[in-house]
Amino acid sequence: MGTTSRSTAQNQAADLDAADSLRPHLDRFVTGGDVQAYLDGNSLGRPLRVTAERMRAFVDEAWGTRLIRGWDEGWFDLPLRLGDRIGAVTLGAAAGQTVVADSTTVLLYKLIRAALALRPGRTEIVVDRGNFPTDRYLAEGIAAETGATLRWIDPDHDAGVTVDLLAPVLGDQTALVLLSHVAYRSGHLLDAAAITDAAHAHGALVLLDVCHSAGALPIHLDKWGVDLAVGCTYKYLNGGPGSPAFAYVAHRHLADITQPIWGWMGAAASFEMGQGYVAAQGVRRLLSGTPPVVAMQPMIDMLDLIDEAGVDAIREKSTALTGFAIALVDERLTDHGVTVATPRDPDRRGGHVTIDHPESQHITARLWEQGIIPDFRRPSGIRLGLSPLSTSFTDVVTGVEAIVAELEKPA
């Protein structure tokens, strides 16, 4: 980029925005209030403007006038239909393998337990210390519950799990490898196909957490041979705070998979309400209680937008946004002691950039007061979440320059 002043960076951003084929989509999101730059779309995506219309129509019509008849008119199968849509648009998954159900935590619990049941006699779960806390905590809890042993991987601070790190902890006792496709802190992008091949060579299953990748970059679960996956819908799928998660089970496991939370919606004949649980056929067996029909509504429009824009185009812009952010940080923040904790190789990073500085927590708090919204990740990271469909290059400059201004303030 060369030596970059604020005005030069703003001009570059303006040129990049003008050339951005996805720029027209920016106006489809709700904006306003005091927000000057929203750089946390990888934690909570902005709502689409049409979502308000959809929710009003749902209250006035599907819920308000059809009432309980809605279950016979589409709600009962909505977790499966919406799951198929998520699979087709964002996961590279054929129909019948994806379902929308509970929270990410509950679905991870179900699938970790299910994986152990699919590998009887094996006692080890592989997990990395850089994984999201929920993934680690669940693995710890399930190990305490079942007597399984955890085999830990320790990736570098600014990287993630590789085949070389994985190989020493694989063996004939490995039941499951639990990893995130994109590391929540560093943004490292896993080589999912190579990891899956390595695990399968030892007879182990792979459970991929795709919370930080679904909707932001191409995923090919079927092609890669991944066994199981879980992802949330409130990040790049813009389903709103607390929107339900989805689970994927490869076709080859559906006939044999069992999960530990038996409920009426996962039963073979839900409305017969008979004595004794018999699991439904197919991916419906992952359901437990009544699905959150209202909370599924917002993501429907976002899936249409992702399909319209194309995941490849979204990934291209994501790579450009993160590359621009890293170059700008190098030029404007290195002299202030800021370092980049995200892989510089675009093929090895996801959709966010994390930078480290001892004052990151205080800086983030002050940025929020100005309407500039990144997030803080311990111990010293500011995470710039650049959601391609709702983030501009100008937003990136606004955010980085605000960090510069904070670091240049007199002590």
Active site (catalytic) residues: 132, 209, 234-235, 383
Handedness of CA 338, 343, 344, 349 (dihedral sign): negative
- Exposure of 357 in the CB half-sphere (CA atoms within 13 A): 20
Cα angle value 368/369/374 (rounded, 5°): 10
For residue 45, give the nearest of 392, 402, 400, 391 by alpha carbon: 391
Q: How do strand 205-209 and strand 339-340 relate by DSSP bridges?
A: unpaired
With contact defined as beta carbons under 8 Å apart, do 41 and 390 qualify? yes
Cα angle value 355/359/360 (rounded, 5°): 40
For residue 150, give the nearest of 138, 159, 133 by alpha carbon: 138
Tokens of 107: 């679905």
- Peptide bond before residue 346 is cis, with ω within 30 degrees of 0: no
Tokens of 186: 């560093």
Q: Which amino acid is at 132?
A: F
